[in-house]
Structure 1
Amino acid sequence: MVHIPAQITRGDIRQTVSQKITLQPGQLVTGRAIKFFANQHAQIQIGNMSLFAQLDTALQANQTYLFQVVSGEQKPQLKKLATISNETPSTEIAKFLGINQSKETDAILREIVARNLSFTKHQLESIQSLLKQHGNSSSHRDIAFHMLEKGLPLTTDTFLSIRTNRSQSFSHLVGMLQEQLSKSNIPEMVDLRSQLSLYTKGTSEGRQSVLQAFLNKHQGVLAPVLEEITGSSMNQIRSIIQQPGNQEFITLKNRLLQQITLQLSGSKSELHSLQLLYNKLAGRAENQQPIPNGEWRVLEQHPLTQKLLLRADSELKQTFDQVSGSDQQSVKSALNLIKTTLDQQLPQETTKLLRLLVLQLEGMEHSQKLPITERFLQHVHQFTQSSGLTDENQLLQMTTRQEVLSLKQALMLHIPQVPDTVAQRMEQLVHWITGAQISNATVQDGAYLTHSFQIPGGSFGLEEDMTLEFQGKKKKDGELDPNYCRILFDLNLANIGETIITLGVQKRVVTITIFNNQEYEAQAFAHKWKSNLEQQLENLDYHLSAIHWKPLSNEKSNSIQPNGDTGHTEQQKGFDWRV
């Protein structure tokens, strides 16, 4: 178990996962030899991490050196450039880099050495350029060094993305953009306003106004489809939508979801080619003619048939598996499935509008009576899928076609079409999402897995975003082990103020520690909910061992973490959830 001292800071509580050192030829790095081996091999200490390397010359133990990476393979080769001391490391490094000394250069080099970061002359020049352009503040240096450590492009776009993500609240940016779009009253922005409404804390009246504007704009396309799906007139549908949470509302949403599920998201050419294949094979079956195996395989391997089989249940998959060209009954059953699917397909634009409509209905329903756990999980899923966090991954995988533009894509599409003041707000939001994509890295270290990301808290009535970090131990099959995990909640509560709760799990035994400077009030709240918590844990086959209370220091930790990531100057609010 992790020991937590009685007097603790937010930085102390956060655990870090040691990362493997990645070296590239040409980089410079400072380190010291701590153990020597034959043939000019040594164990080199770089910060809190070490590596086994081959050297070009003999070294002295516990002396700090400036090395240049000759080869960054599994067994790195290092060339000693200079012996350095804590008093004058930057002078020696600048000399070997062939750059002019200055106060700014000296400060940057000293901090790079203190963080034990590897770098090149070009990377140093890029950092200098970024800090000259955006200001040489401690927070900006922290961002630049974070970019260097993570191997990110040292560009202005990357810098602005990380800075915006760290210093701004997604919910706040969305709210300001939504307000500007509402004042501008640009008809082309109706769909974008509908997407933004998914993430705001706005009133039910405000959500209804956005939704009704969306229906007004697309009534010509949506009305006949909605009336056919639901059997209700458009006026009846508008009335149902105004009462989220009742049974008619839920039935409407579920019917739309069912219709969307039936869509294969195929292009016109794909749908046309599948229709031609069906017509050809259905004609053969109608005339009692056997279907050659080659022709059947063409149908079976069609992209839309593959999509259909991926989402089909086991009975439908078995129907296709049992098809034989000479078995008329199995052929007809499979062809009927293709025909039914083709008849249910809607134009892509209509499907996009239905998906956006359903997202808005779900957002309105979540604000009503759904259990908080279900609302939270659906909110996380909705945000990761619709915000743009997974855009690049979807393009890389090419497993599915994206029916609705993500929020990031929609913003980038509209930026050239709006006034400069609105465009600046849109660019900020694009930077935030890009910064979240950059920061949402999954770190694997041996048997442990860590993943962190932020989600907006507006739909839960929170002013700030929620920062989540998942950390768990992997089993032999790669799955996370629920018997060993750590959960950390970082909260700012209305009644008891800043509160950090750590929850440790070992062999399904749970121990909770609450850090809060109002110890009496914290104990009162914890005691009130203890029995219910014990019961809920027992329902999941977990056992509550104990609840402890400790004071929380308000001072921030300024020490450099093992992975080189210092505490942000911007205060991180919400909570972190480590599993």
Structure 2
Amino acid sequence: MTSASFNPIQIDRAAIQQSQSLSLKQGQVFHGTIKKLYPDQMAEIQIGNQKLFAKLETPLKAGDSHFFQVTSINPEAQLKVVTGPMQPSQTMAQQMTQLLDSMNLPKTAELQQILAHFIKNQLPISKDQLIQAENWLNNLPEGTLKNEAIQVIHRMIELKLPFTDEIFKGLLYGAKTTGIAEAIENFANVLSKENNNVSQQIKLNLLQQLQAISKPFAVETGGILLSKAVQTLLSSETSANNLQALNFLKEAEILPKNSTIPNWLSQSFQQITSKLLPNTEIQNSSAGQLVQTIAAANAADVQNMIAQVKEWLTNQQLLTSEQKSQLQQLIIRFEALPKNAQTIELLAKQLHEQLIKSFSENAISRLFTQDENGDSAKNQLLSLMKYDATNNSQAIFSNILKVANDSADPFIQNAVTQADAQVLASIDSRAMEQALKTIFKSLGMSYEASLNSKGGDISEIAQSLKPQLISLLQDAQTSQPLKESADIILSRLNGMQLFSGESGPQHQLIMQVPLQFLGKHADATIQWNGRMKENGKIDANYARVLFYLNMEALQETVVDMQVQNRIITIHLYNDHPHLEILAEPLKQSLKTGLLEKDYQLSGLFIKKFENTKSQIINENVIQKNDSKFQNGVDIRI
């Protein structure tokens, strides 16, 4: 089964021919017609829609067509005639035979197919490029059509890209709108079977990123599981569940191994205060750092410390007013006590317990809520349980979920089921935005940009999937099956960059997103075409966004969204017979949601595909009244 592909909106050939002068390289061969002859064997040669002035090695006659080869480009273009004059009666096959003979190349089906395309499109190509192109056509990945590969080679010549395997595969895979989820799943399966050729640490790091991609809500699920286990331990009831929750947190390395039901809270307190922080400003500190700072305070600093704690509580966006009031009561009671090491430690422990209680509740009730610093209730809870956990919170929450999934304990399994249900019930636009950010970050889509800007944590960037795939491919110990599966993913990631770019004020971004969460698998390709403001940011008032989706229930779907002065028109193409009925209850919420973002919905047009889906995607630019689509339901608002 072949994957559907697209041709980017921005990189269109007519624009290229108009904006770029003909650029030839030494050794290239092209078909041209001599329009005029000048002294000193100079000639004006017509190549497609463009003209070239060059010096001929032998005298020729105006009006004749030949295949020429570039023998020199400096200080002026010099051409050698490769074939005799082309007669108007000659067929394409005869022209190709004559050219292949003159270049001492075999008349293989692949070479003839390549030459036919380049002669028809009046593009220059060298003998070395022809040989390389033939090699690519003879070694195409399964399910890839030769015509797709020839279009990629065409693009490489047209855009003057290096003729390398990396560029070819990047353009080939980057144009596909399906298959990235399958490629990642295949890589994970091959990786899981590797025991000798890949170190356990590298394997663990890769699997961690793959889980973040395939389960972007794993962190939220892990946060709920942590909260439920803590709430079980905080409850006054004594039951087998308390012991199971305790053992679960110890196995997940949240609590020390010597923790018991009576002392787990004090063990947690000792764990985060074992390395006391020096007196420091705590305004932007985590809850765990707040407790550490209080525990480290001395009587002389206590007044300043209390003022900072009060300010921290006032500005804390992840606590309710009632919770803040309870915490402030603890401070008021402390202020009435003598200020010594014992009372300071008592305050730290009381705040530690009350904050754990508050954030364990909010980590469930406010699942996707973040404060202005990007912190969440689950991260604050984790900072109160484990020293310096905020620097590696994603890995810790993912490990919590892994331990829970591996557990055979009925209480833990029931908690996982409940956590999954709560995540599903809480998903909204913010959750989807967060999930996409997690996927993009884990894929390493901004890897090169981060390195160039020298921004962000380099060690964190290096843990994303892309740089790890590059290292894997460069390692001589990596097995061939693992290299092949890694190369496919890397080619897709490179392809997104190759197809993204700018042409004057117009910019284009291509993103392939593997959506594999909540038990559902879907491939999504997002193609944004618009312009940038002078400050380098996207102009949100004008844009064209195409979504190529392949979902389990709705199958292949194309959404074409056009934004003009913040007025949005949406065309949706799908073969589902009852899609317009299913869409009816969602129209008002769509309109309302867009209005909240200061956009106005002009119209929603739902139509069916008539010709094959891959052809429609190849055409890319879907016109509103295109005859290729059947008449459908037009909803104008």
Would you call these one fold, judging by a TM-score over 0.5?
Answer: yes
Q: Judging changes above 3 Å, is the alpha-carbon distance between structure 1 residues 429 and 464 closer, same or farther for their aligned structure 2 residues?
A: farther
Contact 1:515 1:551 in 2 (8 A): yes
SS of structure 1 residue aligned to 2:105: coil
Mapped to 2, the partners of 1:227 and 1:458 lie a distance apart of: 40
Measure how far apart 1:198 and its partner are.
0.5
2:148 pairs with 1:142? yes
Mapped to 2, the partners of 1:544 and 1:247 lie a distance apart of: 30
Q: Judging changes above 3 Å, is the alpha-carbon distance between structure 1 residues 218 and 407 closer, same or farther for their aligned structure 2 residues?
A: farther
Which region of structure 1 is more displaced relative to structure 2, 522-531 or 28-37?
Answer: 28-37
Mapped to 2, the partners of 1:52 and 1:128 lie a distance apart of: 29
Q: Judging changes above 3 Å, is the alpha-carbon distance between structure 1 residues 59 and 510 closer, same or farther for their aligned structure 2 residues?
A: farther
- CA displacement 1:343-366 (0-9 Å, x = unmatched): x9x8xxx88645644787999999
Which of 370, 373, 379 is equivalent to 1:253? 379
Mapped to 1, the partners of 2:185 and 2:588 lie a distance apart of: 39
Mapped to 2, the partners of 1:140 and 1:92 lie a distance apart of: 23
Q: Judging changes above 3 Å, is the alpha-carbon distance between structure 1 residues 187 and 120 closer, same or farther for their aligned structure 2 residues?
A: closer
Q: Aligned Cα RMSD in Å?
A: 5.6
- 1:415-454 aligned at under 5 Å gives the runs 424-425=481-482, 427-441=484-498, 442-454=500-512
2:185 pairs with 1:175? yes
Mapped to 1, the partners of 2:536 and 2:29 lie a distance apart of: 34
Q: Quick one: which amino acid aligns to residue 53 of structure 2?
A: Q
- 1:14-25 aligned at under 5 Å gives the runs 15=9, 17-18=11-12, 20=16, 23-25=23-25
Q: Quick one: which amino acid aligns to residue 139 of structure 1?
A: L
SS of structure 1 residue aligned to 2:522: coil
2:526 alignment counterpart: 468
Q: Quick one: which amino acid aligns to residue 469 of structure 1?
A: Q
Measure how far apart 1:199 and its partner are.
1.4
Mapped to 1, the partners of 2:615 and 2:112 lie a distance apart of: 21
Q: Judging changes above 3 Å, is the alpha-carbon distance between structure 1 residues 86 and 480 closer, same or farther for their aligned structure 2 residues?
A: farther
1:112 alignment counterpart: 118
Q: Judging changes above 3 Å, is the alpha-carbon distance between structure 1 residues 53 and 170 closer, same or farther for their aligned structure 2 residues?
A: same
Q: Judging changes above 3 Å, is the alpha-carbon distance between structure 1 residues 136 and 483 closer, same or farther for their aligned structure 2 residues?
A: closer
2:214 alignment counterpart: 200
2:561 alignment counterpart: 503
Mapped to 1, the partners of 2:477 and 2:457 lie a distance apart of: 31
Contact 1:486 1:503 in 2 (8 A): yes
Q: Judging changes above 3 Å, is the alpha-carbon distance between structure 1 residues 108 and 77 closer, same or farther for their aligned structure 2 residues?
A: same
Mapped to 2, the partners of 1:213 and 1:154 lie a distance apart of: 55
Mapped to 2, the partners of 1:472 and 1:354 lie a distance apart of: 36
Measure how far apart 1:144 and its partner are.
6.0
Mapped to 1, the partners of 2:530 and 2:551 lie a distance apart of: 27
SS of structure 1 residue aligned to 2:517: helix
- CA displacement 1:487-531 (0-9 Å, x = unmatched): 223334566554333222223332233334456x23323433222
Superposition TM-score, scaled by structure 1 size: 0.60
Measure how far apart 1:403 and its partner are.
1.9
Mapped to 1, the partners of 2:497 and 2:596 lie a distance apart of: 32
- CA displacement 1:81-112 (0-9 Å, x = unmatched): 55556523322432443434334432332233
SS of structure 2 residue aligned to 1:481: strand
Q: Judging changes above 3 Å, is the alpha-carbon distance between structure 1 residues 498 and 402 closer, same or farther for their aligned structure 2 residues?
A: same
Contact 1:488 1:502 in 2 (8 A): yes
Which has the higher Rg, Structure 1 or Structure 2?
A: 2
- CA displacement 1:7-48 (0-9 Å, x = unmatched): xxx9899745325357342253546679989997869564xx
Contact 1:501 1:514 in 2 (8 A): yes
Mapped to 2, the partners of 1:522 and 1:34 lie a distance apart of: 58
Which region of structure 1 is more displaced relative to structure 2, 150-159 or 227-236?
Answer: 227-236
2:590 alignment counterpart: 533
Mapped to 2, the partners of 1:560 and 1:504 lie a distance apart of: 17
Mapped to 2, the partners of 1:368 and 1:59 lie a distance apart of: 75
Measure how far apart 1:54 and its partner are.
2.2
Q: Judging changes above 3 Å, is the alpha-carbon distance between structure 1 residues 126 and 257 closer, same or farther for their aligned structure 2 residues?
A: farther
- CA displacement 1:316-353 (0-9 Å, x = unmatched): xxxxxxxxxxxxxxxxxxxxxxxxxxxx9x8xxx8864
Mapped to 2, the partners of 1:24 and 1:213 lie a distance apart of: 68
Q: Quick one: which amino acid aligns to residue 457 of structure 1?
A: L
Measure how far apart 1:470 and its partner are.
0.9
Q: Quick one: which amino acid aligns to residue 67 of structure 2?
A: L
Which of 373, 390, 395 is equivalent to 2:446? 390
Contact 2:532 2:539 in 1 (8 A): yes
Mapped to 2, the partners of 1:36 and 1:490 lie a distance apart of: 49
SS of structure 2 residue aligned to 1:454: strand
Q: Judging changes above 3 Å, is the alpha-carbon distance between structure 1 residues 434 and 425 closer, same or farther for their aligned structure 2 residues?
A: same
SS of structure 2 residue aligned to 1:101: coil
1:318 alignment counterpart: none
Superposition TM-score, scaled by structure 2 size: 0.55
Measure how far apart 1:436 and its partner are.
1.7
Q: Judging changes above 3 Å, is the alpha-carbon distance between structure 1 residues 52 and 472 closer, same or farther for their aligned structure 2 residues?
A: farther
Measure how far apart 1:554 and its partner are.
3.5
Contact 1:43 1:53 in 2 (8 A): yes
Which region of structure 1 is more displaced relative to structure 2, 11-20 or 396-405?
Answer: 11-20
Number of equivalences: 458
Mapped to 2, the partners of 1:110 and 1:214 lie a distance apart of: 65
Q: Judging changes above 3 Å, is the alpha-carbon distance between structure 1 residues 502 and 138 closer, same or farther for their aligned structure 2 residues?
A: closer
Q: Judging changes above 3 Å, is the alpha-carbon distance between structure 1 residues 213 and 482 closer, same or farther for their aligned structure 2 residues?
A: same
Q: Quick one: which amino acid aligns to residue 467 of structure 2?
A: Q
Measure how far apart 1:461 and its partner are.
4.8
- 1:129-168 aligned at under 5 Å gives the runs 129-133=135-139, 139-140=145-146, 142-143=148-149, 146-147=152-153, 149-150=155-156, 151=160, 154-155=163-164, 166=176
SS of structure 1 residue aligned to 2:605: strand
- 1:303-382 aligned at under 5 Å gives the runs 353-354=392-393, 356-357=395-396, 367-368=423-424, 371-382=427-438
Mapped to 1, the partners of 2:122 and 2:46 lie a distance apart of: 12
Q: Judging changes above 3 Å, is the alpha-carbon distance between structure 1 residues 100 and 181 closer, same or farther for their aligned structure 2 residues?
A: closer
Mapped to 2, the partners of 1:504 and 1:397 lie a distance apart of: 32
Q: Quick one: which amino acid aligns to residue 129 of structure 1?
A: N
Mapped to 2, the partners of 1:367 and 1:481 lie a distance apart of: 33
Q: Quick one: which amino acid aligns to residue 54 of structure 1?
A: F
